[in-house]
Amino acid sequence: MKSDPKYTVRVLSTEAKAALTALEKEYTAPVKEEKKAVRRADKTNAAHYSTGAVAAALTSTVMMPETTHEPAVLSDDVVRYSLVKKKGYVQLATTHGNLNLELYCNLVPKTCNNFISLCQKGYYKGTKFHRSIRNFILQGGDPTGTGKGGESIWGKPFKDEMKPNLVHQGRGVLSMANEGPNTNGSQFFITYRSCRHLDNKHTVFGKLVGGLETLAAIEAIETDNKDRPIEDIFIRDTVVFVDPFQEVDEQLKKERQQKPPEEPVAKPQQPLKTFHSGIGKYIDPALCKEGSPEESVNKKQKLVADAQFKDFSTW
């Protein structure tokens, strides 16, 4: 059969036959990878710097030639968080009263976005505050109730957002619980008093603005030898009053729906008029004629300073 690759081969050595047989058994055709859709920058996510493709193509022979500069595309989080200028407000309805929280969305947007999103999902509903240490903190946010569970809205730990002006100073400071640097999930704690030794170790992202009597009632509950409250303290519901991230999403959606301004239509160029053939055929000979001689300019008389001394009696 002419379709057989071995049709034109007359003689094969034993080694060649063995190699071809092994190749037929082991060879698998490469899978064609689907080309990912190239994400283009628009007016909302365009960076002030380029992708660097032109420079890479110029200095490296392995890169595809590229002659057009394109702005780099900023991630959605970078665009969203840069537009957040307001604070958020959330209420935790517990079995012992309400805790009203103010969130610093404009300062630590990623942490606040995680907390607000979990509240909107109802992630904290039915969870309990599993740890309470008098004159220290009240900790919760773990669905397992063990202090070892819980995850962020992204399904993995996220980085700390330390700010020098956000410290554990005073009663009612809202901060993230973690197992070490950059291990934030869903657990949080509220301080009963100042805990400055926790600064630069835990991300402060809000404070208690209503429900101090509720916090005092919870602090008064007795605990066991593992700092677990003897009386269960559950979060019945979570209510988000102000969500700056939703407002930013709506703003970006409106901006992207707006039509870009139409570019002015270039006027068609008229063909140049030729006056003669050869060099300078587009130059009008009438413009090359000599004009009338200009009138002579009166020379300015040069003033000569009088260098003679005179009578100084009038001085």
Which sequence positions are flagged as catalytic? 131, 136, 139, 178, 189, 198, 202
Burial 267-295 (b: 16+ CB within 10 A, else e): eeeeeeeeeeeeeeeeeeeeeeeeeeeee
Residue type, 161: E
Tokens for 59?
């200095």
DSSP lists the bridge partners of residue 93 as 98, 237
CA distances 58 to 34, 62, 151, 163, Å, are: 27, 10, 45, 41
Alpha-carbon torsion (114, 115, 120, 125), positive or negative: positive
Query: DSSP secondary-structure letter at 298?
Result: P
Tokens for 214?
């509720």
Give the span between the Cα atoms of 85 and 82, in whole angstroms: 8
Give the span between the Cα atoms of 110 and 104, in whole angstroms: 10
Q: Which residues have CB under 8 Å from 78's CB, separation 6+?
A: none
